Structure 1
Amino acid sequence: MVVLQVIRSEWTKIRSVASTVWTLGLAVVVTVALGMLISALSNHQFDSMPENERLSFDPTFISFAGMTLGQLAMIVFGVLVVSNEYSTGMIRTSLAAVPRRGTFLFSKLAVAAALVLVVGMATSFATFFLGQAMLGTHRAHLGDPGVLRAVFGGGLYMTLIAVFSMGVATMLRSPMLSLGILMPFFFLISNILGNVSATKKVGQYLPDQAGSRIMRVVPRIDDSTPYGPWGGLGIMLLWVVAAVAGGYLLLRHRDAQ
């Protein structure tokens, strides 16, 4: 009964803060719009692509091109859900009302993750169908081998990105510090490590590099990744578990500030 009350309280917190609602809306718009744009451009340029690119052309993965920016909004959402209470000082009130810190944290994570899962799945399916509409004769169909897994995985990927960000924000508490670490990590460090030959073997085990594998249906010709789609998502899940566990341990052993 106490857990249900805490869950209800966390749901009220999330939906009453305009910034979190707008951030989720932005994630949907950016992901769908950019996916449609890249799909339309790919359809237009398909005949002029090099042969290797045409052979490994993945219409499903192309429609998820907007996920790169959409995950930015999910990162911001995850950070705000946790760190808003620290920046306003409400964390003291929250922990006084719910002294069992595990109940407090995991109720917050459960509510936010459930919300992101619904939004992420809706976004993933919308992105796929609208992106395929832009690809014309080069489109894929939901019943094609591996496509449903990729679309379903897109929603899971967005959810795990948000939960990972919540775990990091719980450890760091500061929204500026959390975003200052997560943004460069996902949009600079990960891309550099994943695309430079000397560090590629390390980069492919980072959460976004591994997790995005679930959205790929047609493997690249030069792909030497040692794991498959579900293996990549499993690696990402381990990162998420580590971040959440770290957040819980720090929350449990330090004073509310």
Structure 2
Amino acid sequence: MTTTTTPRPTTHAHAAGSGVSFAHVLRSEWIKLRSLRSTAWCFAVIAVLLIGFAALGAALSSVFAGSEATPEQQQSIAVTIITFGSPFAQLVAAVLGALIITGEYGTGMIRSTFTAVPRRTSALVAKIVLVGAGTFVVSLVALAIALLVATPLLAGQGVDVDLADGRLWASVVGAAAAVAFTAMISFGLGAIIRNGAAGIAAAIGVVFVLPIIFGIAQGLVGKGWIYTLNEFTPPQAATRLYDYPLDGTSMLTMPGVDGSLVLEPWQALLVLVGWVVVLFAVALALVKRRDV
């Protein structure tokens, strides 16, 4: 007599990816992020730019300071010099943010990623969180070192830095956040475009070309609405995060015109969050609909 045994169905949740927790996805993405040479190089360049430009600016700070600077003006000069490398660091962060996602599409590794995480949402969330957090930490450490390096150099040029000034530290943190937000915005663009060269070009265009376009428009037209519109662009909003204005006048941005809007730091933060959320939402919708 022969008996037939019906095989018991087995479920391999982890193989299918449905049982993978976000913590596991985050750890996996962190391993990928730190194992890439491009990540290490970009982080290193960001640190060198932030520290190097601060040291250079501090050595030449007498050009800015003059002999009649008030203590508040000296603080503004110090913030300007310490954060002088931030726009250049944002350019590198833009490249990094785009590379993180477009590089996987270019090598085909994205197929393995989405096979392990078929719903795709947690994979993208983990990537953008790590890109933003990693860039922020590297930038903050570099800016703190830049502050330590620049302070004695500034003192030698007659600019005394008050390290107990809360606005000074808020600007340092804001500058690090500006670099991180740029990386996350570029990640969103890269996830939408998917092509490496095009993604990097779009990211650099937002960070570098867009301010030039608005600068030309402001010079030619000079209307208040142009200045107001510029406030909502990522580069300008990023600058507002670490600005140290005196009586409404900034050393980092062009003066506005009557009737134009100037964002407060918390408003600029909301603008940048909005850019990240909108671009990421579009990217997520497209990633879920597209084939890899």
Structure 1 length as normaliser, TM-score?
0.89
Aligned position for 2:201: 180
Q: What do residues 58-79 of structure 1 show as CA deviations (whole Å, max 9, x unaligned)?
A: 3212221111111111111111
Distance 1:203-1:56 versus aligned 2 partners, 3 A rule:
farther
Aligned position for 2:269: 233
Aligned position for 1:154: 175
Residue 193 of structure 1 aligns to a residue whose secondary structure is helix
Distance 1:8-1:200 versus aligned 2 partners, 3 A rule:
same
Aligned residues: 254
Aligned position for 1:203: 230
Residue 99 of structure 1 aligns to a residue whose secondary structure is coil
Measured after TM superposition, the shift of residue 210 of structure 1 is 1.2
What runs of 5+ residues in structure 2 fail to find an aligned partner? 1-19
Q: Distance in 1 between matches of 2:112 and 2:134?
A: 24
Aligned position for 1:246: 282
Larger radius of gyration: 2
Q: Distance in 1 between matches of 2:83 and 2:116?
A: 42
Q: Does 1:129 align with 2:148?
A: yes
Q: Does 1:141 align with 2:162?
A: yes
More displaced 10-residue stretch of structure 1: 41-50 or 119-128: 41-50
Q: Distance in 1 between matches of 2:237 and 2:283?
A: 22
Aligned position for 2:17: none
Cα contact 1:117–1:155 (8 A) shared by 2: yes
Following superposition of structure 1 onto structure 2, how do residues 1-257 of structure 1 map, counting pairs within 5 Å?
2-47=21-66, 57-136=76-155, 137-194=158-215, 196=218, 197-198=222-223, 199-219=226-246, 220=249, 222=255, 225-256=261-292
Measured after TM superposition, the shift of residue 116 of structure 1 is 1.7
More displaced 10-residue stretch of structure 1: 19-28 or 108-117: 108-117
Q: Distance in 1 between matches of 2:153 and 2:279?
A: 38
Measured after TM superposition, the shift of residue 112 of structure 1 is 2.3
Q: Distance in 2 between matches of 1:66 and 1:132?
A: 16
What runs of 5+ residues in structure 1 fail to find an aligned partner? none
Measured after TM superposition, the shift of residue 243 of structure 1 is 1.4
**What fraction of aligned residue pairs are identical, expressed as a percent?**
27
Residue 61 of structure 2 aligns to a residue whose secondary structure is helix
Q: What do residues 145-179 of structure 1 show as CA deviations (whole Å, max 9, x unaligned)?
A: 41121111122111111111111111111110011
Measured after TM superposition, the shift of residue 47 of structure 1 is 2.4
Q: Distance in 2 between matches of 1:235 and 1:193?
A: 17
Measured after TM superposition, the shift of residue 111 of structure 1 is 2.3
Q: Distance in 1 between matches of 2:270 and 2:147?
A: 23
Measured after TM superposition, the shift of residue 225 of structure 1 is 4.2
Residue 263 of structure 2 aligns to a residue whose secondary structure is coil
Structure 2 length as normaliser, TM-score?
0.79
Distance 1:2-1:55 versus aligned 2 partners, 3 A rule:
closer
